[in-house]
Amino acid sequence: MSSLSARGIHAWFGKHHALEDISLDFAPGTVTALIGPSGCGKSTFIRTLNRMHEFIPSAAMAGEVLLDGKDVYAPGTDVTKIRLQIGMVFQKPNPFPSMTIGENVLSGLKLAQLKVDNKDDLLEECLERAGLWKEVKDRLGAHGGSLSGGQQQRLCIARALAVKPQVLLMDEPCSALDPGSTLRIEETIRHLSESMTIVIVTHNMQQAARVSDHTAFFLSDGGPGHMVEFAPTNEIFSRPKDKRTEDYVTGRFG
Amino acid sequence: MSTVQPTRPWVATTADRVRDGLIFVVSIAISYGLVAATPLKGKLAYFFTFFAILTLANGLNGFLRYGFAAAKDAAIKTLVGVGALLTVMPIASILATVISKGYKGIKPNLFTQDMSLATPTDPLNNGGILHAISGTLILVFLSLIMSVPLGILTALYLTEIKGRFSKPIKFLVQAMSGVPSIVAGLFILSAVLYPITKGYSGFMGALALTILMIPTVARTSEEVLNLIPQDLREAGTALGGTQWRTVAMIVLPAARSGLITAMILGVARIAGETAPLLLLTGGGDKVNGNPFHDPIGSLPYYIWKSFNAGSEEAITRAWAGLLVLVVLILILFTTARFLSTRKVSR
């Protein structure tokens, strides 16, 4: 398992300073939750980790993201290799519409031109790990769009797993889902954390408390978003050091 | 236990329909009477009197039943309905004329012979338009294989690469779609035909048609590609795909049916083009399968030439050619609509 750490991350959109000086270490095999009100830079932060930030035309950044000690922004780094090692699940389920369920899961292999010996085994393994195998094993040839929202999101998780990432970034993966699907995805996350490092952005306090080992609280008080507190999850929720964290996790603001 | 019957209280009752029908019939009668009693004359007079009276009558009906607001509603409803009818009428009229005049020329030999052994005054069972149909198909095919890749690449530059030149290119493509076809024809004539090939050929015509077709294909493709959610592109790159592989494996397949529509709209744009073909293809009455050498026929050219010939048979032939061309274009549009609305299913 790989270690991932962020060192002094800043982010800008044009002249707007969106994120200020974030340093965080993600220990291998742990789940880290990022919480905070909307617009505080959580999503921006995780998108700097796998270099998705640079897709926004006016974006700029500063700082280092170290994957196994190597800066992913170092000159000469192969970006596609970085994104293979740091997978991502998005807020809205986005299965590829022109592909079947099976093709969706294996699409990463084709996109990144990877070879595997036994595709069927990999397909079953990924769907199994994403908690979707039992529901779709008889209709792998159906279109991804024919699944329910929760199933589509687990399909996207399975798709991210197929390229064997070391780290999985999840940007509010349950915000579009009903409680039942949310629960199933949380089980999946707990299960996956045995073999990979997970970073999850969530607006759901209970979710952070249920799935994460560490929690970071981000806040923007008018200026750029910054990290107020980072601690083991039970400490954040039971005895936060900062008054603002306490107010937020107890629902007094935000 | 009471059983509840499903009802649709918002749908017009039979009484309403009968009243509307009566108003319609009475309006026709009044307008007929008015045209007969006054100096107004002609079909148009009937139509406009009927139109005005129907609007008034529907408005009055609405006023008597539900008051002033309903009167306005009814009158405007009538105006809108008749306006839509007015738009469709010329199209229907064109179709009716082409069919009624063209069917006489549709004979089996029309599709198996060319005009090389027939003169404009020959009877209709001699000679045909095989050279024009084959020429048009060759021209369309050549333009298609040249303009579709260029058009889609342009669209990809605008939607995926979004490079520094996007804005000027977008502007140029839009401006190009307004280029008169004769300008495209003259351009190829002076830039390629006179200095280089020095002879009429199908390829010259196809080059001019390509110039006309690229903007249509590029703009339609651009709109289609813009509809593909950004999410999918991000998901592709987040899985370790390069931009090129993401576009090729995810964006283009997702846009497939729309791109086919873009292609067919482009073909429909050029299939009836006449002006550049007059300058560049040289016409010709013989089937010519070689687009790179010698004059080649085409349907628009044939129609133009036959009308100019002036004999009764030639004019009937021209209408028949027109009918074939219209049917060809209708088939293309229908296919485009079918392909663009069809759901992806497997």
* CATH code of residue B138: 1.10.3720.10
Residue A250 has pLDDT above 80, yes or no: yes
Tell me the backbone φ, ψ of residue A27, rounded to 5 degrees.
Answer: -70, 145
Residue B345 lies inside a defined structural domain of this protein: no
**Tokens for B344?**
């992806």
Indicate whether B116 belongs to any domain.
no
State pLDDT tens for residues B304-324.
999 998 888 899 999 999 999
Is B140 inside a domain boundary? yes
Q: What whole-number distance in Å separates Cα of residue B110 and Cα of residue B252? A: 41
Q: How confident is the model at residue B345 (pLDDT cuts 50, 70, 90)?
A: very low
What domain range is B259 assigned to?
A: 130-340
Q: Using the beta-carbon criterion (under 8 Å), do B239 and A107 form an inter-chain contact?
A: yes
Which residue, among A96, A105, A199, would best test binding to B if mutated, counting the most B CBs under 10 Å from its CB? A96
- What is residue A225's DSSP assignment? B
Give residue A108's pLDDT.
Answer: 94
Residues of chain B found within 8 Å of residue A97, distances taken between Cβ atoms: 232, 254, 344
pLDDT band at B38 (very low <50, low <70, confident <90, very high): confident
pLDDT at residue B343 greater than cutoff 70: no
What pLDDT score was predicted for residue A42?
A: 94
Same-domain check for residues B149 and B58: no
Examine residue B72 and state whether it is found in any structural domain, yes or no: yes
The reply to whether B141 and B52 lie within a common domain is: no
Looking at the structure of chain B, the number of domains it has is 2
pLDDT at B329 over 60: yes
What pLDDT does A75 receive?
A: 93
Name the DSSP class of A145. Answer: G
Question: Within this chain, do residues B86 and B173 fall inside the same structural domain, yes or no?
Answer: no
Q: What is the pLDDT of residues B282-298, one digit of tens each?
A: 888 888 888 898 999 99
Banded model confidence at residue B257, pLDDT cuts 50, 70, 90: confident
Rounded CA-CA distance B138/B298 in Å is 9
Q: How far apart are CA A169 and CA A192, in angstroms?
A: 12
Distance from CA of A81 to the nearest CA of B (A): 6
Binned at pLDDT 50, 70 and 90, residue B342 comes out as low
Which chain B residues are closer than 8 Å to A110 by Cβ?
245, 249
Residues B61 and B186 in one domain: no
| Both structure tokens of A5 | 């750490």
Same domain, B92 and B162: no
In a domain, B9, yes or no: no
B145 and B72 share one domain: no
Percent of chain B with pLDDT over 90: 51
Residues of chain A in contact with residue B234, where contact means CB-CB under 8 angstroms, are 52, 55, 90
- Chain B residues whose CB is inside 8 A of the A156 CB are 235
Band the pLDDT of A87: cuts 50, 70, 90.
very high
Q: How confident is the model at residue A254 (pLDDT cuts 50, 70, 90)?
A: low
- Give the A window 77-136 contacts with B, CB below 8 Å: 80-81, 83-84, 87-88, 90, 92, 94, 96-100, 107-108, 110-113
Indicate if B167 and B91 belong to the same structural domain.
no
Checking if the pLDDT of B263 tops 60, the result is yes
- The pTM of this model reads 0.81
- Give A-chain residues touching B163 at CB under 8 angstroms: none
Is residue B5 assigned to a domain?
no
Residues B286 and B181 grouped into a single domain: yes
**Who has greater pLDDT, A206 or B345?**
A206
Mean pLDDT, residues A126-135: 90
Domain assignment present for B113: no
Interface A–B counts its CB contacts (< 8 A) at: 80
CB contact under 8 A, B240 and A81: yes
Confidence of residue B42 (pLDDT cuts 50, 70, 90): confident
pLDDT band, very low/low/confident/very high, at A19 (cuts 50, 70, 90) = very high
Q: Give the domain-ending residue among B68, B89, B104.
A: B104
The answer, yes or no, to whether residue B344 has pLDDT greater than 60, is: no
The per-residue pLDDT for B1 is 62
How confident is the model over B58-87, as a mean pLDDT? 88
* pLDDT value, residue B346: 37
Using the predicted structure, report yes or no on whether residue A131 has a pLDDT greater than 90.
Answer: no
Domain termination residue (choose one: B104, B138, B166): B104
Helix (H) or strand (E) holding A175: none
Residues of chain B contacting residue A88, judged by C-beta atoms under 8 Å apart: 235, 238
**Cβ within 8 Å of residue A42, ≥6 positions away:** A34, A35, A36, A201, A218, A225
pLDDT band at B6 (very low <50, low <70, confident <90, very high): confident
- Record: contact B234-A97, CB cut-off 8 A: no
Same structural domain, B154 and B297: yes
The Cα–Cα gap between A46 and A227 comes to 13
Least confident of A130-134, A209-213, B117-121, B169-173: B117-121
Q: For A177, which DSSP code?
A: S
The pLDDT tens digits for A136-169 are 999 999 998 899 988 999 999 999 999 999 999 9
Same domain, B272 and B188: yes
pLDDT at residue A229 is higher than 90: yes
**Mean pLDDT estimate for chain B:** 89
Q: Mutate which of B160, B239, B245 to test chain A, going by most A C-beta atoms within 10 A?
A: B239
B156 & B303 share domain = yes
Mean pLDDT across chain A? 92
Q: Is residue B243 one of the residues assigned to a domain?
A: yes
- Same domain as B148, residue B183: yes
Task: Determine the residue of chain B that is closest to A86 in CA distance.
Answer: B238
Residue B195 has pLDDT above 50, yes or no: yes
